[in-house]
Chain A
Amino acid sequence: MRMVLTAALGFALLTMSSAAGASRENPRDPSPVLRGDWLLLQLVPSPGVALGASGPAATLRWHVTPLLYSFGTDRRLNRFRWFIAEPLYRHSGSVELFADPFYIGRDRPARDRWGLSTGARAHFPWLERGDALSYSVGASMLLLHEGFQPSFEAGLSTLFGVLGVFVHVAPWFDDGYAELSLRVRWF
């Protein structure tokens, strides 16, 4: 997995286009810039509810996108983004690798309340090329204190991807696992 990520990042760096010497054939293509306000906003979690045999529990999820390929973006531009992706890059049609840490408020030792969901997710535009409404499907491996199992997700995003509703299901856990989350995301 690490090798795949490294190779993908290397490829993305190689395919980066320069903002210098822009023309109609090679348009200006500025890359996102890391800013403190973006970092702070990434700390805002998406709240949710996890369901399982042990009853409902509140969840908090954070979103990390190491790499995103936007197939909706114009071919003349660099279609890769890592960590920071403008809403239209994501919601006009994209595939992203993600690693979402999450917290489940269950009555168990603190370290057993944390989990990680890592996998791939595809976004497709629905209204206004994804700016107003888009839908997503994804598959991931879900790491909980109960174990490591595949999970699936589907979601709808609106308001340039700032708000969304997502459902995550991991049917192969002994107790079953499902989660409904209100996604709050800024870039």
Chain B
Amino acid sequence: MGGLRPRRRRWALGAALCVAACAAVLNVSCGRAPLFVRFLWGTLNQPETRPPRHRVVEPRVEGARLVATWVGHATVLLQLDDRFVLTDPVFTSTVGVVSRRYVAPGIAPEDLPQVDAVVVSHMHFDHLSLGSLDRIEDRVAHIVLPEGGLAYVPGSSVPTDELAPWESLELDGLRITATPVEHNGWRYAGDRAWRATAFTGYVIEYNGLSVYFGGDTAASGWMFSATGRRFPDLDLALLPIAPIHPREFMCRTHMDPKEALDAFADLGARAMIPIHFDTFFNSLDEVGEAPRLLRAEMNERGLGPDRVIVLEHGQQHVLVPGDARPLAAPERR
């Protein structure tokens, strides 16, 4: 070092400082460094997108009162009598530019019916996909966002509104109410200090039918119980069951299958459809792990497939056919 010319010495000092800064950053996050490497490796080695097992071309089920079609991830097309509601629409091949889809959407955007309302639960890339909104906006009548979310839906060509927790919006008989969940509202991480409220769940009501959409949430018993008390007649709960691993990290913002079944009991809904699994992998979960754990837990609790309906991508399920209610209201916890 002593033999270096002053200019080279300055460069060497600069390089050493850079290395020290990188080492400090790694040291601060040393507990997470192996996780980060595994996550990065998984992101770089994402499998090719495979087609869905089911592909819905005509989503409307004539005569049915309540129908759910799992498009993938948190995207569910709900038919409530003659109305359609779409949750967290994501039809793009990637989210956040780099995270590739594992299974293609169960409905092509061009096969969607006229959608009365799109509800967006929060601002993360796998829930608010602006590329997807671009593709479907010509057939959407209204977009509903959580409080503080409007800033991240620029250039919307359809009426777009925010709802604060417990606030409702009435759209010609279709009533959408924001419900509290446990998650976070930022999109880019750097905005976590001020974009603090832009996450929610929803209850969608129409003609005596009601559906709970949990979006993406951690376990929070009182929130689900409070929602269940306000909406004691829920026909369906759409509840996330993943990502699961690493649990000590994910538990702050995500439910695992067991917690999702707890939430289902707290809500007191008649039926549950699990969502938010096996579509995008931003975790250390294995393919099929979340539904496998869910089925094991269902067996332990004596919950049959009539109560917890595990759909495949693109699969449709009629929950309320014709004028009848197929299931008796369960006991709430």
List residues of chain A with CB under 8 Å of any chain B CB.
22, 24, 27-33, 35, 37-38, 41, 70, 72-74, 76-77, 86-89, 92-93, 125, 127-132, 158-160, 186-187
B154 touches A88 (CB 8 A): yes
B148 to A28, Cβ gap below 8 A?
yes
Interface of A is mostly: loop
**Closest CB in chain A relative to B64 CB, distance in Å:** 32
Assess whether B152 is in contact with A132, with CB atoms less than 8 Å apart: no
Tell me the total A-B contact number using a CB cutoff of 8 A: 95
Q: A74-B153, A128-B129 are in contact. List 18 more A-B contacts (CB 8 A).
A: A24-B169, A29-B148, A29-B150, A29-B151, A30-B148, A30-B194, A31-B194, A70-B154, A72-B154, A74-B160, A88-B151, A88-B152, A88-B187, A93-B154, A129-B154, A159-B98, A160-B97, A187-B190
In the bound complex, residues from chain A placing their C-beta under 8 Å from that of B148 are: 22, 27-30
Q: Which residues of B contact A77 (CB under 8 A)?
A: 150-151
> What residues on B are CB-neighbors of A33 within 8 Å?
193-194
Counting contact residues on chain B (CB < 8 A from A), the size range is 20 to 34
B196 interface residue, CB < 8 Å from A? yes
Q: Which residues of A contact B194 (CB under 8 A)?
A: 30-33
Question: How long is the Cα–Cα vector from A17 to B228 in the complex, in angstroms?
Answer: 35
Residues of A with C-beta under 8 A to B129: 128
Give every chain B residue within 8 A of A128 (Cβ-Cβ): 92, 129-131, 134
Complex-state Cα separation, A130 to B130, whole angstroms = 9
Instruction: State whether the Cβ of B188 lies closer than 8 Å to any Cβ in chain A.
Output: yes
Shortest 10 CB-CB contacts between residues of A and residues of B: A92-B154, A128-B131, A33-B193, A72-B154, A30-B194, A128-B130, A129-B130, A28-B148, A27-B162, A33-B194
Judging by beta carbons under 8 Å apart, are B150 and A74 in contact?
Answer: yes
Is B114 part of the binding interface, using a Cβ–Cβ cutoff of 8 Å?
A: no
Inside 8 A of B154's CB, which chain A residues have their CB? 70, 72-74, 88, 92-93, 125, 129-130
Determine if A30 and B196 form an interchain contact, defined as CB atoms under 8 angstroms apart.
yes
Taking a contact as CB atoms under 8 Å apart, the answer to whether B130 and A160 are in contact is no
* Residues of B contacting A28 in the complex (Cβ-Cβ under 8 angstroms): 147-148, 150, 162, 164, 197
* Binary per-residue interface labels of chain B (121-150) against chain A in the complex, 1 for a CB within 8 Å, 0 otherwise: 000000001110010000000000001101
Residue among B98, B160, B187, B190 facing the most chain A CB atoms (10 A cut-off)? B190
